[in-house]
Amino acid sequence: MDLKDLTLGIEEEYMVLDPQTRELKSHEQKIVEQAHKVIKDKVKAEMHQAVVEVGTQICSNITEAYEDVAMLRKTISQIAGDLGYSVGASGTHPFSKWEAQLITDHPRYIELLNEMQDAARSNLIFGLHVHVGMQNREMALHIANSVRYFLPHIFALSTNSPFWEGRNTGFKSFRTKVFDKFPRTGIPDYFASIEEYDNYIKLLVKTNCIDNAKKVWWDLRVHPFFNTVEFRICDIPVTVEETITMAALFQAVCAKIVKLRKQNLNFIIYNRALVNENKWRASRYGIDGNLIDFGKEMEVNARALIYELLDFVDDVVDELGSRAEVERTIKILEEGTGADKQLAVFERTGSLPSVVDYVQSQFLKGC
């Protein structure tokens, strides 16, 4: 497998806002209907009517991905504005109440609500999904097993949801805490073979836990229908530049594992329970806390471990053409994540509507 085969697909979820009140606002799928005329199936409705989801085409490199995400943000922003709405990108809305939000009238969502009840109704969150193309499902599983260790590192960089229902939660990513209420979430288990993974899915279907493999909502999964590894752990970043940095990092760690595989080497496989400890720390502290270096069996400053990650992928980023995008990580380490910036606005103004204004103001930055 060549590194050039590691294609990219990016999905983003946006908040639809009332420009006056800054509250979440149902757009009754008007934005989606108008956007379909321009960007076809790159836009779709979500369960809550105050959410718009977009997805890029299959991109052959990070530059294509950047252009596509920038185009999608500009298109949705323009259409929303023409219809009297505004949009923003944050893992949670700072103060809107989920109880007040309308649900999209669609059989799939009604079925989900009937099963999940308030766990689904309250799941008013906004994420980033990055697909990295794979040669086959066997390679996808090998990479998924290996890269689980790095999920908290990259997640920490994406943290962008410190507020929930008008409260400073004390977390840099409260979005993940909201999503934890769902079954089959979090860091995935290790699977020894693709057959073992498929048998797990078949058992869940046979016993009526799920009706299809898309209801496995882990932070990282071998996609049930495409030959991709899908990274689902990140909050939606405030800016397109940060989104592209997360995508470039995910692509780079996949490329590094492929390169090691070609040399008959592998990255050490860590227990799910251990990786979960780092995920919890990343959700609580973002890049400002300590993560565990399992090799050294000690706590290490998160920034130091993220710099180690940059060193780890350094020999693949030029071949991928993503050095500038990966090295933008350093800017996030120096200036803070989306959560840090939201908190800084709140500290300065004491106003959650001002936080929403900040988020809206950054939506097209870099586009």
- The tally of domains found in the chain comes to 1
Confidence of residue 2 (pLDDT cuts 50, 70, 90): confident
pLDDT(106) > 90:
no
Place of tokens 């840099």: 172
Q: What is the DSSP letter of 172?
A: S
Q: How far apart are the first and last CA of the chain?
A: 32
Are 135 and 229 in contact by the 8 Å Cβ rule? The answer is no
Cα–Cα nearest to 155, from 296, 304, 278: 278
Distance of alpha carbon 91 from alpha carbon 331, whole angstroms: 20
Is the pTM value of this prediction over 0.85? yes
Range of the domain at 169: 3-362
Give the bridge partners for 88, in sequence order: 15
Report the percent of the chain where pLDDT is more than 70: 100
Q: What is the DSSP letter of 20?
A: T
- Tally Cβ neighbours within 10 Å of residue 299: 13
Q: Is 288 helix (H, G, I), strand (E, B) or coil?
A: coil
pLDDT at 148: 97
Distance of alpha carbon 160 from alpha carbon 183, whole angstroms: 23
Average pLDDT over residues 254-277: 94
Question: The domain spanning residue 320 has which CATH number?
Answer: 3.30.590.20
Query: Is residue 100 situated within a structural domain?
Result: yes
Distance of alpha carbon 66 from alpha carbon 244, whole angstroms: 6
Query: Is residue 367 situated within a structural domain?
Result: no
Q: Is 265 helix (H, G, I), strand (E, B) or coil?
A: coil
When comparing pLDDT for 153 and 107, which is higher?
153
Q: Is 69 helix (H, G, I), strand (E, B) or coil?
A: helix
Q: Six-digit token pair at 3?
A: 């590194």
pLDDT at 334: 98
